[in-house]
Amino acid sequence: MHQLVFATNNTHKLQEVSAKIDGQIKLLSLDDIGCFDDIAETGLTFRENASIKSRYIRDKYKLDCFGDDSGLEIDALNGEPGVYSARYAGEHGNHANNIDKVLKGLQDQTNRKARFRTVISLIWNDEEHFFEGTVEGAIRHERSGNEGFGYDPIFQPDGYNVTFAEMSLDEKNKISHRAKAMEKLVEFLGRV
């Protein structure tokens, strides 16, 4: 079975991606390959950040790998938080503060349209390939639900009356931005 490194240690992302790959490929995390480096996301776009991660692993470990970058883009906030989604309120990964900052920024806004976007950079046989997925939706006025992570408690995908945080992992995996990008990646791997 072919091995593929996912350049992340985010357990939520690993669970989502493992469910999509469904045993077709042996998925390895950064921990699995002994990489404990902090890979700096210095890009100005999701594509640049995804590429930084995959190229770092390929250059250092010589393994086929992919990296992703994802974020929330809110129309009324000029596309923010965007590439700064994980550290929007300052401290990296402080989901509660990030959500608070978004809700405060949208306090007087009627336009609550937003989307989650994922870009994956796959390096396979020394060639880089990109896959993108988006899911359109709106930002709720308050948190709802306990599942998921990040902005899931305030993001309601179009066509649903619940947030990502009110969906099971299986339900979210059918429609999420990462799921759509992963489907394109899995389809590509099935052809090579």
Place of tokens 């639900």: 145
Can you say whether the dihedral through the CA atoms of 39, 188, 191, 31 is positive or negative?
Answer: positive
Q: Which of 64, 68, 69, 152 is catalytic?
A: 69
Q: Determine whether 69 is an active site residue.
A: yes
What residues does 28 pair with on adjacent strands?
Answer: 5
How are strands ordered across the β-sheet holding 113-124? 26-28, 3-6, 65-74, 113-124, 127-139, 155-157
Distance separating alpha carbons of residues 42 and 23, to the nearest angstrom: 32
Q: Which two tokens stand for residue 91?
A: 């401290």
Q: Which residues are catalytic?
A: 69
